[in-house]
Structure 1
């Protein structure tokens, strides 16, 4: 059963990765502008003063303009730094200085804080491959966010940042998969539970 779920996830991830890679420059730019506006609206409506974000890779929804806006607005931004043990450390960052981290993922360069630093943010914006209508988040298979979110006793709200077409009826779920509280796409904000 678990092997079947693993295969199902791998196939879905491959399909989603291919879709992301075939997006046109025009589509990417339009989605970036819309996503930035949607993230800004979310932050303003909820009076967010601190966030956990990530440095988006080229095929991911581009959160970098939002990161720049958040820093200009004085919002404290924590960015993940991957660890060998599968957990995430966090660093305060503005996204200006980065390096290639584990698995080629972009990472901030800065003073590294512990995994517990994320406990005090107002909201966590997490990357995802897809999210189901029930709030199940499917990542890219390395488990960093599932481990981090699963280890938090009183975690802040978690919103997955995805493209509109990655909000699916359902995604395969394994026991370690952590649900999210909502999604943010270029066109909408959906909260699953309050």
Structure 2
């Protein structure tokens, strides 16, 4: 019917293209905003966010937590990780694999930079089996999170795959100004249970 011309896109296709473009634009804006933060501003957040994470761990009676090694422009996690090691709390850290999945390593304080992704990663042997299933609380990075708990990630899909069908509560960790009214959503996107920032921590109510 259409000869050599492609059939017109459906409304669903057009909407998906718009969502993907909006996500890409927002990620670029967040990267620009984060790059403008000074190291001193980031360092000042370490204590408050560690306090907030410790309170959450205590409230949930978590014995094993999944977290991540923050990059220089993210909300810092290393103070929390240091306190966790001192208190004996086990923390799993993600190890990105080439096929887009995450393995998990128990935090010992040893880290290196991923040679391709240029992000910090833990040094150590990955835990066997589905290690993330052993976590009582999962803390994940994000670019933005909205007030309904929908998270805008960085586009690699690592956490979308890792978090599918998890029972443990998932909390996103972002800067105060990265909690917004709404983020673009695709059909596979699922809300997190809560949001942690240095000053605006909240649990999502459904």
TM-score normalised to the size of structure 2?
0.87
Aligned counterparts of 2:87 and 2:29: Cα–Cα separation in 1: 37
For residue 153 of structure 2, the aligned residue among 114, 139, 145 is 139
The question of whether the paired residues in 1 share the 8 Å contact of 2:57 and 2:137 is answered with no
Note the residue ranges of structure 1 that are not aligned, 5 or more in a row: none
Q: Would the alpha carbon gap of residues 174 and 143 (structure 1) be closer, same or farther in structure 2, given more than 3 Å must change?
A: same
Q: Would the alpha carbon gap of residues 43 and 36 (structure 1) be closer, same or farther in structure 2, given more than 3 Å must change?
A: same
For residue 63 of structure 1, the aligned residue among 77, 82, 93 is 77
Aligned counterparts of 2:157 and 2:35: Cα–Cα separation in 1: 22
| SS of equivalent residue, structure 1 residue 104 | coil
Question: Does residue 53 of structure 2 align to residue 3 of structure 1?
Answer: no
Aligned-pair CA distance for 1:42:
1.5
TM-score normalised to the size of structure 1?
0.92
RMSD: 1.6
Question: Does residue 132 of structure 2 align to residue 118 of structure 1?
Answer: yes
For residue 34 of structure 1, the aligned residue among 31, 48, 53 is 48
Question: Does residue 61 of structure 2 align to residue 17 of structure 1?
Answer: no
Ranges of 4+ aligned residues in structure 1 off by more than 6 Å: none
For residue 178 of structure 1, the aligned residue among 153, 178, 190 is 190
Note the residue ranges of structure 2 that are not aligned, 5 or more in a row: 1-14
Aligned-pair CA distance for 1:147:
1.0
- Highest Rg: 1 or 2? 2
The question of whether the paired residues in 2 share the 8 Å contact of 1:54 and 1:80 is answered with yes
1:116-165 Cα shifts (integer Å, max 9, x gaps): 11101110000000101111011011010011112x3x421000000110
Q: Would the alpha carbon gap of residues 79 and 101 (structure 1) be closer, same or farther in structure 2, given more than 3 Å must change?
A: farther
Aligned-pair CA distance for 1:102:
4.2
The question of whether the paired residues in 1 share the 8 Å contact of 2:112 and 2:121 is answered with yes
For residue 169 of structure 1, the aligned residue among 160, 167, 181 is 181
Aligned counterparts of 1:57 and 1:102: Cα–Cα separation in 2: 14
